[in-house]
Amino acid sequence: MAGGSEAPPLGAILAEFVAGHPRRGWDDAVESAAQRSFMNWLGCAIGAARHPALDATLAALRMLDPAPQGSVPGRNDRVDMASAALLTGMASRALDFDDLHPRTTIHAAGPVAAAVLAVGEHLGSSGRELLDALVLGVDVACRIGSTMGPEHAERGWDITGSTGMLGAAAGCARMLALDAAQTAMALDIAASQPTGLREQAGTMTEPFHVGSAARAGMMSALLAKHDFTASPRALEGPHGFVPVVSERRGWQEATEALGRRFEIAANLLKPFACAVALHPAIDAAVQLRARGVVAAQVQQLQLDVHPAALALEGDAHPRHAAAARASLAHAAAVGLLFGRAGPAEFDDAAVHRPDVAALREAVRATADPALADTAARATAVLADGRREAVHVAHAIGSAARPLDDDALRAKFASLVEPVLGPSRCALLSDACVRLASMEDLRELASLCRPSSSR
């Protein structure tokens, strides 16, 4: 297989960058993106703290009798820090409400944040150290994802799990203050451990990919700290990670503007708890509702969407939550009915509501290749013959219209209040904003536990 010989020493270059980068060392836009990505990630993790996937995983982990080293945000359980990374990474992805690095389609914060928070809580690291590790770890995962291009995911890899272990390894190496050689080793050990198949979409194993990547990356950093060895060409050699899992090797994209452009600045926070391809249609449906369209009077809901919105594996008649999160008809229906599309609008109860089912039946969707993937048109045809139309050029949450800070706080509260209560949620929200100056991450971890709030 070609591609190995002309490759740069990727592990060494990225490790030098991660180990040698100054504290912070980026502009306010990057810093804000990091703080917002973390807050969004933590909200998603806490919102899914009682997800059945976490209960099942905890039951399995209990068979190993784990040490009470680390916490799982939103729960009182304590487990060893590697298991904490696994559980938290999984939680943050379980509601499909997290984030997206659009060029690579990596849900970027998940594997890195889960791993560095677990290590940081255990070590009593500072918020500054966490943010630095998050920015650098996300950079590594997204840059390696960029070398592979869309073919990697099209082949069937769940790219968040198949690059996340590299981001988590980089982030944990930074938290552990590994030197450049050890950091390279951490990346090279992690290279052997991609987790994730797109075939798992809609099952508990899909979010497991994120947790598994977090755990694998952390363990790779711990091994590297203790003089474990791997090939210095594990990422880019002829039988190394990128050549094995990808036909494309855009090596220059891994190092382009390294230390000047930070990938986390491009990370998008999701306003709706479903596949991003459905967001423009939801936005349009929400806007129809805001203009006074009442669902009960809608005879037909015509949607013109980018072809990707119709290419998902969901269908017009979902029978459970996982299918609904990939169903254009369901997504548009709940947008019009409720004016929002959070986790509750995609759960099994929502799927089976008669009003939602009736509105799904009224959807007529057409793919329009001329539309951007952030655009949609929606036309409601009412019982009295009137028509109301909305054109969304850039959906809320896209790069042109990112979630603003108020919307992020509202999203965070919608996820965290049901688990921790409003006063604890407000404290935690403030803690996220002042994370860069927090001296000890155990303060944050403590705020994430339900018991200490009662």
Joined together, the tokens standing for residue 454 give 């009662």
Q: Judging by DSSP bridges, how do beta strands 363-367 and 298-305 pair with one another?
A: parallel
Closest to its own copies by CB, 191 or 420? 191
Write down the least CB distance from residue 75 to its own copies, Å.
16
Identify whether the C-beta of residue 226 lies closer than 8 Å to the C-beta of residue 179.
no
Query: Toward its own copies, which CB reaches closer, 34 or 119?
Result: 119
Residue number with CB closer to its own copies (7 or 331):
7
Q: Pull the structure tokens for residue 261.
A: 């452009």
CB closer to its own copies out of 123 and 372: 123
Between 69 and 446, whose beta carbon lies closer to its own copies? 69
- For residue 408, the one-letter residue type is L
Nearest to residue 452, comparing CAs of 425, 411, 424? 424
**Residue number with CB closer to its own copies (11 or 402):** 11
Q: What is the DSSP string of 11-29?
A: HHHHHHHHHHPPSS-S-HH
Q: Residue 123 or residue 426: which is nearer to its own copies going by CB?
A: 123
Characterize the bridge pairing of strands 70-71 and 376-382. unpaired
**What residues are paired with 125 via a beta bridge?**
none
Other Cβ atoms less than 10 A from the Cβ of 364: the count is 14
Which residues, in sequence order, are bridge partners of residue 106?
Answer: 101
In angstroms, the CA 453 to CA 423 distance is 9
- Of 360, 363, 361, 369, the closest CA to residue 305 belongs to 369
We find the least distance from the C-beta atom of residue 276 to its own copies, in angstroms, to be 18
Q: Shortest Cβ distance from residue 202 to its own copies (Å)?
A: 8
- Closest CB to its own copies among residues 249, 360: 249
Q: Report DSSP letters for 346-380, one per residue.
A: GSHHHHH-HHHHHHHHTEEEEE-TTS-TT-EEEEE
CA proximity to 113, closest of 130, 96, 93, 98: 130
Q: How near is the Cβ of 157 to its own copies at its closest, in Å?
A: 6
What's the min distance (Å) between Cβ of 213 and its own copies?
A: 10
**Structure tokens belonging to residue 293:** 């369209």
- The nearest distance, CB 336 to its own copies, in angstroms, is 31
| Strand ranges, E, within 206-323 | 268-269, 298-305
Q: Which residues bind its own copies (CB under 8 A)?
A: 1, 52-53, 56-57, 59-60, 63-67, 69, 80-82, 154-158, 161, 188-189, 191-205, 208-209, 212, 219, 222-223, 225-231, 233-234, 237-241, 243-244
Least spacing, CB of residue 212 vs its own copies, in Å:
7
Report in angstroms how near the CB of residue 88 gets to its own copies at its nearest.
15
